[in-house]
Structure 1
Amino acid sequence: MNAKYTYTEAALVSLLKSNDRSAFEYLYDNYSSALYGIIVKIVKDEERACDAMQDTFLKIWKNIGHYNSEKGTLFTWILNIARNTAIDKLRVELKKERVIQLELVRDGDLISSTIFNPLPATMDLRSIVERLLPERKVLIEMVYFQGYTHEEVSERLSLPLGTVKSRIRKALQELREIFEVCAPKPIFA
Structure 2
Amino acid sequence: MQQDGLILELQNGNQRAFERIYELYSESTYGIIFSIVNDEKVAEEILQDVFMKIWDNASTYDSDKGRFFTWILNIARNASIDKLRSKDFKNKRQNLPSDNFVDILETRTNYAAATDAIGIKKFIGALEPICKKLIDLLFFKGFTQKETAEELKMPLGSVKTKNRACIKSLRKLVLE
- What TM-score, normalized by structure 2, do the two folds share? 0.51
2:116 paired residue number: none
The answer on 1:55 being equivalent to 2:49 is: yes
Q: Which has the larger radius of gyration?
A: 1
SS in 2 for 1:15: helix
Give the direction of change, closer, same or farther, for the CA distance of 1:29–1:43 in structure 2 (3 Å limit).
same
Give the letter aligned to residue 91 of structure 2.
K
Alignment match of 1:96 (pick from 80, 91, 94): 91
Q: Shift of residue 150 of structure 1? A: 7.5
Q: Shift of residue 96 of structure 1? A: 2.9
Unaligned runs of at least 5 residues, structure 2: 96-143, 147-156, 161-176
Which aligned pairs between 1:96-115 and structure 2 lie closer than 5 A? 96=91
Q: Shift of residue 8 of structure 1? A: 1.8
1:69 paired residue number: 63
Give the direction of change, closer, same or farther, for the CA distance of 1:46–1:97 in structure 2 (3 Å limit).
closer
Alignment match of 2:11 (pick from 17, 25, 33): 17
2:78 paired residue number: 84
Q: How many residues align?
A: 100
Identical counterparts, % of pairs: 48
Unaligned runs of at least 5 residues, structure 1: 1-6, 102-148, 152-161, 166-189
Cα deviation per residue 1:50-94 (whole Å; 9 max; x = unaligned)?
A: 110011001101111100100001111011101111111111155
Coordinate RMSD, CA, aligned: 2.5
Cα deviation per residue 1:24-58 (whole Å; 9 max; x = unaligned)?
A: 11001111000000000100000100110011001
Q: Shift of residue 15 of structure 1? A: 0.2
Cα deviation per residue 1:128-168 (whole Å; 9 max; x = unaligned)?
A: xxxxxxxxxxxxxxxxxxxxx689xxxxxxxxxx9xx9xxx
Which aligned pairs between 1:78-157 and structure 2 lie closer than 5 A? 78-92=72-86, 93=88, 95-96=90-91
Give the direction of change, closer, same or farther, for the CA distance of 1:94–1:51 in structure 2 (3 Å limit).
closer
Q: Shift of residue 13 of structure 1? A: 1.2
1-side partners of 2:14 and 2:66: how far apart?
Answer: 22
Alignment match of 1:46 (pick from 32, 40, 54): 40
- What TM-score, normalized by structure 1, do the two folds share? 0.47
